Amino acid sequence: MSQMRRVFITGSSTGLGLMAGQLLVEQGHQVVLHARNEARAKDALQALPMAEAVVVGDLSSVAGARQVAEQVNRLGRFNAIIHNAGVGYRERRRLETEEGLPHVFAVNVLAPYALTALIERPDRLVYLSSGMHHWAGAALDDLEWRKRVWDGSEAYSESKLHDVLLAFAIARRWTSVLSNALEPGWVPTRMGGPSAPDDLDEAHRTQAWLATSDDAAARVTGRYFHHMRERSANPEASDCDLQDKLIEKCRKLSGISIPA
């Protein structure tokens, strides 16, 4: 059993984020949830009344991410942050954000980048990827999807590769922080759909474990996991040049720099 830790989880009003929060509370940890709006925040607190608080903000814009980071920092330092918020692969059309970016990139990649940069540095960072990232390319020359015909599934897969690149880049830069990524499996959540074949009961455990466990296997950095076991990521994720290029792209798009 690990000591009590404070954990902030993005996108945790429903689904895997809420499930991870519930598990962590059951294990004796303090949890702060995040919801996109006040109505979802109310639902989240009803589902997990033992949560310390619920932060409210829409992560589809840089301004929204800034608001979330400000609220989190006002609550004090966290031991771990789980970047769980995400938009799924079934997004059929290109949804533009305030920055003129595809919605899926803004929520899945630019938001965790901005929150990583803006929230007081924790001991551990956990980024949710997807098994679909294994078949993606980084496509850093066309993050805006201006050169290609929109493909929601491909855009999602790319964004999940970007999340692993981000996790590994932070592991290199912040050597005092344990920064890892994982795939929860294709499970029957609202995002995954009712026919998803994997075990829902396993899907939230790895992120909670990476955020809090004292197990030697969880106290690593720059690694990729599935069901509490380390596995290989897409080889592109380990390309330091790609990692650095993604960080620079996100810096330019957001106007926010990762602290040295």
pLDDT digits (tens, 9 = 90+) for 165-181: 999 999 999 999 999 99
In a domain, 94, yes or no: yes
Question: Whole domain around residue 207: which residue ranges?
Answer: 6-253
Whether 260 maps to a domain, the answer reads no
Catalytic residue status for 113? no
Is 77 part of any domain? yes
Tokens coding 182: 């994982």
- Residue 97 has a pLDDT of 73
Q: Using one digit for the tens of pLDDT, what is the confidence trace for 102-135?
A: 999 999 999 999 999 999 999 999 999 999 999 9
Q: Which residue in this structure is represented by tokens 């007081």?
A: 120
Where do we find the tokens 């957001």?
A: 254
252 is catalytic: no
What does the DSSP 8-state code read for residue 164?
A: H
Question: One of 89, 113, 127, 160 is an active-site residue; which one?
Answer: 160
Whole-number Å distance between alpha carbons of 167 and 124: 11
- Helix axis angle for 111-118 and 152-173, nearest 10°, is 20
User: How many domains are contained in the chain?
Assistant: 1
Q: Would 177 be classed as within a structural domain?
A: yes
**Is residue 259 included in any domain, yes or no?**
no
Query: For residue 189, what pLDDT band results from cuts at 50, 70 and 90?
Result: low
Q: Of residues 127, 156, 224, 249, which has the active-site annotation?
A: 156
- pLDDT for 191 equals 54
Give me the pLDDT at residue 98, please: 76
Report yes or no on 1 lying in a domain.
no
Q: Sign of torsion, CA 21 117 90 58?
A: positive
CATH number at residue 134: 3.40.50.720
Question: Tens digits of per-residue pLDDT, 133-153?
Answer: 999 999 999 999 999 999 999
Q: Is residue 243 part of a domain?
A: yes
Name the pTM for this structure: 0.94
Phi, psi of 6 (to 5 degrees): -95, 130
What is the distance, to the nearest Å, from the Cα of residue 132 to the centroid of all Cα atoms in its chain?
15
